[in-house]
Amino acid sequence: MLAAQDLPGLVVVDAKGRPSTVLAGTQVLRMALPSYCQDDPALARGDRRAGCRRHLRRHR
């Protein structure tokens, strides 16, 4: 369903490799961002400087 609708997410599998649950992209992001960034959205926004764009292009 995630792939068919082009939605970001993470499939969690059990010890035998069988899917057990799916986490939405927003849930994964919430786990990855420290709480202080979640509390202040200005800290979580992307950096739009040209140097960042060049760095991202090189590492894709």
CA distance 18 to 34: 30
- Helix segments in the chain, DSSP class H: 25-32, 35-39, 41-44, 50-58
Residue 4 inside a domain? The answer is no
Domain around 27? 9-58
Counting the structural domains of the chain, the total is 1
Residue 47 inside a domain? The answer is yes
Residue 41 inside a domain? The answer is yes
pTM for the structure as a whole: 0.51
Predicted confidence (pLDDT) per residue in 22-55, tens digit: 998 888 888 888 888 778 877 766 656 656 666 6
Residue 31 inside a domain? The answer is yes
Residue 2 inside a domain? The answer is no
